Amino acid sequence: MNPQAPAMPSRYSRITGTGSHLPPRRLSNADMAAMLAERGLETSDEWIVERTGIRARHFAAEGVNASDLALPAAQAALQAAGRTADDVDLIIVATSTPDMVFPSTACILQNRLGANGCAAFDLQAVCSGFVYALTVADSMIRAGTAKCALVVGAEVFSRILDFNDRTTCVLFGDGAGAVVLEASEEPGILATELHADGKHVGILCVPGTVSGGSVLGDPLLKMDGQAVFKLAVGVLDSAARAVLAKAGRTEADVDWLIPHQANIRIMQSTAKKLKLPPEKLVVTVDEHGNTSAASVPLALDAAVRSGRVQRGDTVLLEGVGGGFTWGAVLLDF
């Protein structure tokens, strides 16, 4: 190496815009109770709120796919970043409910945006998907293989719910969230932490597949709620502490905690373990339900557009989901 050569500037990534989209059909807990009553099942607003904190969720109309939700979310993020589709050189869509087996929902979104030619692919880590996708995009930007990434979480979970199982069908909703992540000389994403443990596959899964034109197995969501709750609280705490240590930060440096929006009790337990006051916890699960890979970017966009998350704030994002997968991202917004 030439000792006289100037040092290359450090390369980081920073979120420059956020966006989100919810399908217009909103179902309150009362609506869900009425729907289930037609099937001979009993539930109530009180039962759902007490156990989950969920009061409503949005379901996509028949024929509306993940890419249909992803498109307006991506467009809003690009507008917020002051970018156009021509600026995008990487698209990652985190989803467990893609439009089709292949091609990827990212390629379908790419064509609808008019960003043809750049790298585009889907990432499947269920409810941790957006945290995983953001980590991959950050790594690619740091490596110099991308400059402007569009990272999207988009789900139509209503298509894989068992409406004869009142313990799961009331939990989930549809939606999409997106961010524009750009190369920067100043740190934005400070540290990331990803994990998975496949021995827990059975506690949250959709155990079906397509073969020979038929569905093999069961194509509807199955969950052991107690097992998921117990595991989620522990791994979210460990991931948060690991990512803070990597960044040389402490819990006191966190301005906002935006965890996967699955269950208010899990979220509050995570905040309590980190000694964060309730006012630093961003909550959208009450109105969105669990939107899987879309939940973190949906909550982030809601917090940005409401004026809570401001430029310069330190934000801790966390995800946990089937696989079993989990992870965290610490960033300066």
**Per-residue pLDDT reduced to its tens digit, 36-52:** 999 999 999 999 999 99
Q: For 11-25, write each residue's pLDDT tens digit.
A: 999 999 999 999 999
Q: What is the pLDDT of residue 9?
A: 57
**Stretch 60-83: mean pLDDT:** 98
**Residue 7: pLDDT over 70:** no
**Stretch 45-61: mean pLDDT:** 97
Q: How confident is the model at residue 6 (pLDDT cuts 50, 70, 90)?
A: very low
**What's the N-to-C CA distance of the chain in angstroms?**
36
Omega prior to 324 cis, within 30 of 0? yes
Q: How confident is the model at residue 4 (pLDDT cuts 50, 70, 90)?
A: low
CA distance 231 to 279: 25
**Stretch 131-144: mean pLDDT:** 98
Q: How confident is the model at residue 2 (pLDDT cuts 50, 70, 90)?
A: very low
DSSP bridge pairs for 149 = 90, 181
Domains of the chain: 12-184 (3.40.47.10), 189-332 (3.40.47.10)
**Residue 209: pLDDT over 80:** yes
**Residue 30: pLDDT over 90:** yes
Active site residues: 127, 260, 290
Q: What is the pLDDT of residue 36?
A: 97
**Residue the block writes with tokens 């498109």:** 71
Assigned token pair, 218 = 């069961």
**Stretch 211-235: mean pLDDT:** 96
Q: Please, are residues 72 and 152 in contact by the beta-carbon 8 Å criterion?
A: no
Q: How confident is the model at residue 1 (pLDDT cuts 50, 70, 90)?
A: very low
CA distance 106 to 318: 23
SS percent in the chain: helix, strand, coil, step 5: 40, 25, 35
**Residue the block writes with tokens 């990331």:** 192
Q: What is the pLDDT of residue 52?
A: 97
Could you tell me which residues come within 8 angstroms of residue 181 by beta carbon, excluding any fewer than 6 positions away? 13, 14, 15, 16, 134, 137, 138, 141, 148, 149, 150, 151, 188, 189
**Stretch 199-218: mean pLDDT:** 97
CA distance 175 to 151: 14
